[in-house]
Structure 1
Amino acid sequence: MSETTWRADPLVWGRGPRVFEVFIEPTCPFSVKAFRKLDELLAEAGEDRVTVKIRLQSQPWHLYSGVIVRCILAASTLEGGRQAAKAVMKAVADHREEFEFERHFGGPNRDATPNEIIARIEDYSGVRLAQAFAIPDLDREIKWHCKYARQNGIHVSPTFMIDGLVQADMSSGDAVADWAARLLKD
């Protein structure tokens, strides 16, 4: 029996000393708003001054959250790693309603299967991830994200941390310039 090895590419951009961690649920509208600001934040603050880390915060009231989080992490194991994962996150963000239940309980997605959700993500992102989705121990990466959030007292998305400290007064509605100023102060 041969053992297959794989590696999930960390969802990290930039290389600066200030660390900005964003805990997001991929179908949460507020998380989507925060996700869409991250590239602009890196450009404004400077990749040599800030490191942005995306932490996935699966939430059970977003009923396909677990499937979608697994898709993102599966994509991170493929060629292109974090960029493939980012393409999946962008595809879900751009078509959020197609991955979410109406008012968290109804609508056409009640008839969708996990395989149909995976196929939609593949179609929108261009990332062929179904095979990686089936990595038997991919759940160790999912569990790491969950454990890390719990250890830091994070239960909802989006939540923001700067240098390991939760920033309860930060919001997805804040301007990117405000995020950058906060990260670069001191």
Structure 2
Amino acid sequence: MALQPSLRRALVIAGSYDAPHTLDIFLDYVCPFSAKLSLTIESVLRPFFDKGGKYEGKVKVIFRNQVQPWHASSTWVHEAGLAVARVSPENFWAFSLALFKRQGEFFDIPTSTLTPTQVRQKLAALSAEVIGANSKDAVLDLITLKTSPNGGVDVTDDLKYTIKFSRQNGIHVSPTVLWDGLVANEISSSWGEKEWTEFLEKKVLV
């Protein structure tokens, strides 16, 4: 699957971009099932695909931001992820894991009494814990409204790209996983090492 060049360094979270097989994994930062799968990506898939792994050079994992607008904060959390992808692409996945682990702070009820600006400030503060305090202002600047009254933020174009990609491929919910461009409905957020091992043994042919 294609990936906008400016996002390639950040969103390829395991394996190398030129690997012949692709796992596109659509995740929403405020989805509990996405959070569950994120831990499996870290503990099972990355060791398989990164340097020294059984499938090194054969499979890559692309993180696909899946905004789910029935959660009001979904847009804001994904803006923050894309801001980190610009400011510190090498730390995008680490920030994503941190956000998944603390996603409860950004659920519907905890954010219902906060303004969008306050939520964005909380996200920038979280980014500082991962990428350093010196980068906090840069992240906050990218997710701050400061242009026309309806012009979005500095990562709005990146957000539009991720949303349009999901829409044109008929992705509706998270997590959704594609193997080499086709939806793999059998994959579950409950899968562990056993299930992934069996799946990859059948699918990785080169």
Determine the structure 1 residue equivalent to 2:48: 44
- 2:34 corresponds, among 24, 31, 35, to 31
Contact residue 57 and residue 146 of structure 1 kept, 8 A: yes
What is the TM-score when the length of structure 1 is the normalising length?
Answer: 0.83
Instruction: Find the partner of 1:176 among 193, 199, 206.
Output: 193
1:4 is aligned to none
Residue 96 of structure 1 aligns with which residue?
103
5+ residue gaps, structure 2 = 1-5, 145-151
Look up the SS of the partner of 2:62 in the other structure.
strand
Unaligned runs of 5+ in 1: 1-6, 102-106
What percentage of aligned pairs have identical amino acids? 31
Q: For 1:102-117, what aligned pairs fall within 5 Å after superposition?
A: 107-117=109-119
Stretches of 4+ aligned residues off by more than 3 angstroms: 7-10, 134-137
Maintained 8 Å contact 1:30/1:158: yes
Gap change, CA 1:38 and 1:173, over 3 Å in 2: same
- 8 A Cα contact 2:78 2:159, kept in partner: yes
Counterpart code for 2:59: V
Q: Choose which of 82, 85, 93 in structure 2 pairs with 1:76.
A: 85
Shift of residue 137, structure 1, vs aligned partner = 4.6
What amino acid maps onto 1:59 in structure 2? Q
Alpha-carbon distance between aligned partners in 2 of 1:115 and 1:176, rounded to the nearest angstrom: 40
CA 1:166 to 1:98, structure 2 compared with 1: closer, same or farther past 3 Å? Answer: same
CA contact 2:10–2:93 (8 Å) conserved in 1: no
Distance across 2 between alignment mates of 1:145 and 1:176: 29
Which segment drifts farther, 31-40 or 117-126?
117-126
| AA matched with 2:97 | K
1:14 aligned partner: 15
State the match for 1:87 in structure 2.
94
For 1:130, the equivalent position in structure 2 comes to: 140
The structure whose residues are more often helix, as a share, is 2
Q: Structure 1 residues 99, 171: closer, same or farther in 2, change over 3 A? A: same
* CA deviation vs aligned residue, 1:53-80 (integer Å, no higher than 9, x gap): 00011001221000110110011111x3
Shift of 1:18: 1.6
